[in-house]
Amino acid sequence: MEEITWGNTLSVVLTGLVVVFAALVILIFLVWLMGKIFIAIGNKKNKEQEQQKQDARRQAQQAMADQAKADQVKTEQAGTGQIEEGIPPEVVAAISAAVAVVMEESAPGAAYTIQRVQRAGVGRSAWGNAGLAAQLSPFDR
Amino acid sequence: MIDTFLTSITELARTSGIAQLFTMDGLLNLAMIAIACVLLYLAIAKQYEPLLLLPIAFGMLLVNLPLGAVMDPPTTVIKPLTDEIQESAQYAMIELQDAAGNLLNGFYQDKNASVSGGLLYYLYQGVKLGIYPPLIFLGIGTMTDFGPLIANPKSFLLGAAAQLGIFVTFIGAVCLGFNYQEAASIGIIGGADGPTAIYTTGMLAPHLLGPIAVAAYSYMALVPVIQPPIMRLLTTKKERSVVMKQLRPVSKVERIFFPVVVTLIVCLMVPSATPLIGMLMLGNLMRESGVVDRLVKTAQNELMNIITIFLGVTVGATATAENFLNLQTLGILALGLCAFSIGTAGGVLFGKLMYLFSGGKVNPLIGSAGVSAVPMAARVSQKVGAETNPTNFLLMHAMGPNVAGVIGSAVAAGVLIAIFK
C-alpha cells in the first residue's frame, strides 16, 4: 500500500483497531474461561482436602477417646503408683509434651503411652557435670 | 628536521576531527554533540530513563565525531585485474555478471583499498535485522507479573483502548506529509513501549530510528508529567475516588497456561507480532514455570543488560546530523507527544465506559495505564487516585491494563508491519 489517500489511511486505522480489539477480546474470553475452569478445579480440590481433614480429625478424636479409655483401665489396674509422689501435674504435662515432640520427630504418627514418671536420681555424677560444663561453655576456653 | 616536524603536525591537525568541526558539516555535528550532551544531562542528572537514554545519547555523541567512522559500512573495492596483480597470485578473484547474465572476468578485490565497517555498524545489525527488541522483550517477560491481568481479564480492553493514540497519530503523521511507513513508525510511539517502537521503526523506516527512539524514551520518562493533567481533565472526583474490589489470587497453573494461550492466539492472528510476543511470553513462561531459575536470572540480568547497551548505543548512532537536524524531527517530537496524550485519553475514556457499565465499580484512572510504560504508568494511576482518596490503592488494578498495553502495542505493531512491510 503506497498511494496515500484518505480511504487507505482510514482503512489502516480501522484494520488496526479492529484487529487489536479482536485479539484482546479473544484473550479476555480465554483467560476468563481458564480462570473459571481452574477456580472450579481448585474448589473441588479444596472440598476434597477439607473432607479428608475432617475425616482425619474425626479419626484422631476417636483414637484419643479410645486411648484415654485404655489408659484409665490400665491406671485402675496398676493402682496409683504410675507417677512418683511429689512430681507436680505441671511437670508431668511438660514431660509429656517433650516426649510427644520427640516421638513425633522420630516416629511420626506412632501411638504410645507414658507408663510411668519417676525421678531417675538426685543430682548428677562428676562425669555428667563435666559433660554439661563442656556443652554449656564452649567459648570459655 | 624542524620543518618536517612542523609539516607533520600541521598535516595531523589538518586531517584531525577538530579541523573537520569547523566546516559546515562540522558545525552540524557540533550541534548534534550539544544535543547529545543535553540528553546525557537528562539521563544522569534528571535520571530520565537513564538505562537507555545514557547509551542513546553517547551513541549520538560518537557518531557525530568527524572521522570517527563508527557507523560506516564496510566498503569493497573492485578493480580490473592487471598482469602485475595476476603474477603476485595474491588477490581475490571476483566474478561479475552483466545485466544479460554474461560472466565478466578480469576483476579482483583490492583488499588494501577495501575498508571494514565501524564497530557500531556491526552492532547496529541487531537493530536492523530486528534481533535486539525481541531479546529485550524476553527479559521483560521474565520480570512481568501477569497475575493482575489474569485476575481481571477485562483489563485487556483498557490495554487495547490506549492504542488509540497509535492510530490517531498515524493519521496526523500522514497529514504532515510522512509516507505510510514513516507514519506507522511515528504512531507506534503512542504505544509507549521502547522496544516495540524500535522494532517497528527498524522494519519500516530505519532512517527515523534516532528521533523516534529519543521521542519514545523521553516521553516515557515524562509519563508522570504528561498523564496526570489529562486524567484529571477527563474524570470527575467521584470517578477518581472509586475503590476497586480486591483481585482474586491467581494459581500457578493459570500463570503457566497464560503465556502459552497468549502466544497461540496472538501469533496465529498476527504472525508478524510473533518475534515480540513470542519472546515476551517465553520469558514469562520461564519465570512462572519455576524450573529454569538460571535462565531467568540470565535473561533478566546479563542478557538484558548487554542487549540494552548494544540497542541504546546503536540507536543513538543512527542520529546523525543529516537524519536528526531537520523539521521532520520536530514533527516527530510533536506527534509523539500527541500519540502519548491521545493514548492516555483513549484509556481513560474507555475506563469511564467501564465505570458506567460496571455500575461504578471500575476506577477510570486505571485506563491511562494501558499505554504500556511499565510500571511508570501504573504508578501514575496510583498517585492520581491517592490524591483524591489517600487510602485508595489502585496500583495492582492498574498493573492489569499496564501489562495488557504491552501485548496491545505489540499486536498493533504487528498489524502495521504486516500492512506496510
pLDDT in tens, B95-109: 777 788 777 777 887
Do B166 and A16 count as a contact with CB atoms less than 8 A apart? yes
Which of A94-98, A127-131, B291-295 has the highest mean predicted lDDT (pLDDT)?
A: B291-295
Question: Are residues B294 and B159 part of one domain?
Answer: yes
Look at residue A50 and tell me whether its pLDDT is greater than 80: yes
Answer yes or no: is B120 within a domain.
no
The residue segments making up the domain with residue B355 are 125-420
Position A83 scores a pLDDT of 80
Answer yes or no: is B306 within a domain.
yes
Question: Are residues B172 and B61 part of one domain?
Answer: no
Low-confidence stretches of chain B (pLDDT beneath 70): 89
Question: Are residues B91 and B48 part of one domain?
Answer: no
Position A79 scores a pLDDT of 52
Question: Are residues B331 and B395 part of one domain?
Answer: yes
DSSP calls for A68-98? HHHHHHHHHHHTTTTB-TT--HHHHHHHHHH
Question: Are residues B178 and B44 part of one domain?
Answer: no
Do B157 and A13 count as a contact with CB atoms less than 8 A apart? no
Which pLDDT band holds residue A139 (cuts at 50, 70, 90)? low
Look at residue A80 and tell me whether its pLDDT is greater than 60: no
Question: Are residues B101 and B63 part of one domain?
Answer: no
Give me the number of domains chain B comprises: 3
Position B237 scores a pLDDT of 93
Q: For B162-171, write each residue's pLDDT tens digit.
A: 999 999 999 9
Look at residue A141 and tell me whether its pLDDT is greater than 70: no
Residue at grid coordinates 491511562: B368
Question: Are residues B96 and B27 part of one domain?
Answer: no
Question: Are residues B129 and B96 part of one domain?
Answer: no
Question: Are residues B277 and B132 part of one domain?
Answer: yes
Question: Are residues B380 and B363 part of one domain?
Answer: yes
Residue A21 forms contact with B (CB below 8 Å): yes
- Does the ipTM exceed 0.90? no
Look at residue A137 and tell me whether its pLDDT is greater than 60: yes
**Alpha-carbon span B333 to B338, nearest angstrom:** 9
Residues 398-417 of B with CB under 8 A from A: 404, 407-408, 411-412, 415-416
Answer yes or no: is B277 within a domain.
yes
B179 contacts A4 by C-beta, under 8 angstroms:
yes
Look at residue A57 and tell me whether its pLDDT is greater than 90: no
Shortest Cα–Cα distance, B255 to chain A (Å):
10
**Alpha-carbon span B191 to B219, nearest angstrom:** 11
Position A77 scores a pLDDT of 63
Which residues from chain B sit within 8 angstroms of residue A1, using beta carbons?
Answer: 180, 419-420
Question: Are residues B364 and B329 part of one domain?
Answer: yes
**Alpha-carbon span B130 to B202, nearest angstrom:** 7
Question: Are residues B344 and B283 part of one domain?
Answer: yes
How many Cβ pairs within 8 Å bridge chains A and B?
104
Residues paired with residue B97 on neighbouring β-strands, in sequence order: B103
**Nearest CB partner across the interface for B174, out of A4, A31, A35:** A4
B400 contacts B148 by C-beta, under 8 angstroms:
yes
Residues paired with residue B107 on neighbouring β-strands, in sequence order: B80, B94
Position B81 scores a pLDDT of 79
Do B180 and A12 count as a contact with CB atoms less than 8 A apart? yes
Position A22 scores a pLDDT of 95
B331 grid coordinates: 514533527
